[in-house]
Amino acid sequence: MVEGVQKAELTKEEIEIFEKEWPRLTSLWLKELNVGRPVLGKTSYHLVNEWFEPYKDQFLELCAMAKAQITPSAGKFEGVHARTGFGWRITKIEDITPLAAGTTWRVNVTTSGWRGHLHNGAIGAACTSTDYLYLRKDVAVGIVGLADFSGACTATDYKYVVNEIPSEVIDLEYSFLGDLPLYDFGKVIYLRPAVRYNSKAYFSNTGYQELRPLGISFIKAEKLTDDSVKSTESARPMNTAP
């Protein structure tokens, strides 16, 4: 998938962990999508699984890249129960937003138009061309799309910059899982450790919004398991290079 990028060879044991736990990551996303809404059911499990499945090989490659790029030394890939090396989880708000974003994706957007999403500020606040974030050195993230939990679905366009490379403006033509609007990027957007990035969403109206990136994060074991560090400055992206 990615040529000329630093990777480490995964051991047979690490690949077996990945293969065994991949469906579990899918089921955890289904659990997240069910929060606060009617249960989507078994059929929806298959829909979510089918939505992520085309990206499985890319995430296996990202796992190898994370093993090489996470610092200090990533160690061994140990899956969701990592204790000494690194593991993975569905992407949380603290993985990709700063302290200013708080602890929830649900925010009251008071001005329509282009507003910051993943940037150096609160979600829905103004975002300038210099409002970048740097991912932590011990985190790598792959994002495949967006889910709009707001019930209003007013985010109509999206754009991002990763490692100085801007995307085109993305028209958010949603598909639906039950009543939940989902958008598939058609690829994995990879945020390597310490990368500089930001993103903006175009909101056609004001009000409460809840636009969530759908992704998987590879993280050093101590930050994967220790709740006490998840929302600290040292664990979250900042506006200066780590």
Q: Give the model confidence (pLDDT) of 59-69 as tens digits.
A: 999 999 999 99
Overall number of domains in the chain = 1
- d(CA 72, CA 194) in angstroms, rounded, equals 12
Whether the CB-CB separation of 237 and 97 falls below 8 Å is answered with yes
Nearest to 155 by CA among 119, 207, 197, 198: 207
Residue 64 belongs to some domain of the structure: yes
Residue 229 belongs to some domain of the structure: no
Rounded to an integer, the average pLDDT of 24-41 is 64
Residue 56 belongs to some domain of the structure: yes
Query: Look-up: residue for tokens 């939990």?
Result: 149
Nearest to 96 by CA among 80, 69, 62, 119: 119
Which of the pair, 175 or 236, is modelled with greater confidence?
236
Whether the CB-CB separation of 10 and 19 falls below 8 Å is answered with no
- d(CA 232, CA 131) in angstroms, rounded, equals 20
Confidence grade of residue 138 (pLDDT, cut at 50, 70, 90): very high
What is residue 35's predicted lDDT score, i.e. its pLDDT? 54
Residue 231 belongs to some domain of the structure: no
Residue 134 belongs to some domain of the structure: yes
- d(CA 184, CA 181) in angstroms, rounded, equals 10
Residue 232 belongs to some domain of the structure: no
| Residue 60 amino acid letter | L
What is residue 175's predicted lDDT score, i.e. its pLDDT? 72
Confidence grade of residue 45 (pLDDT, cut at 50, 70, 90): low
Residue 201's Cβ-side half-sphere holds a number of Cα atoms within 13 Å equal to 27
What is residue 234's predicted lDDT score, i.e. its pLDDT? 62
What is residue 177's predicted lDDT score, i.e. its pLDDT? 65
* Cα angle, residue 31 at apex, residues 26 and 70 outer, rounded to 5°: 50
- Domain, as residue range, for 67: 12-224
Residue 235 belongs to some domain of the structure: no
* Whether pLDDT at 113 is above 80: yes
Range name among 48-57, 61-70, 182-191 with the lowest pLDDT average:
48-57
Whether the CB-CB separation of 184 and 51 falls below 8 Å is answered with yes
Rounded to an integer, the average pLDDT of 19-31 is 82
What is residue 39's predicted lDDT score, i.e. its pLDDT? 45
Instruction: Report the number of secondary-structure helices (H) and strands (E) in the chain.
Output: 5, 13
Residue 162 belongs to some domain of the structure: yes
What is residue 46's predicted lDDT score, i.e. its pLDDT? 56
Strand partners, 181: 176
Strand partners, 128: none
What is residue 11's predicted lDDT score, i.e. its pLDDT? 97
pLDDT (tens digit per residue) in 204-216: 999 999 999 999 9
Rounded to an integer, the average pLDDT of 138-150 is 91
Which of the pair, 138 or 27, is modelled with greater confidence?
138
Composition of the chain by helix, strand, coil, percent to 5: 30, 30, 40
Query: Look-up: residue for tokens 């780590």?
Result: 242
**Average predicted confidence (pLDDT) for the chain:** 86
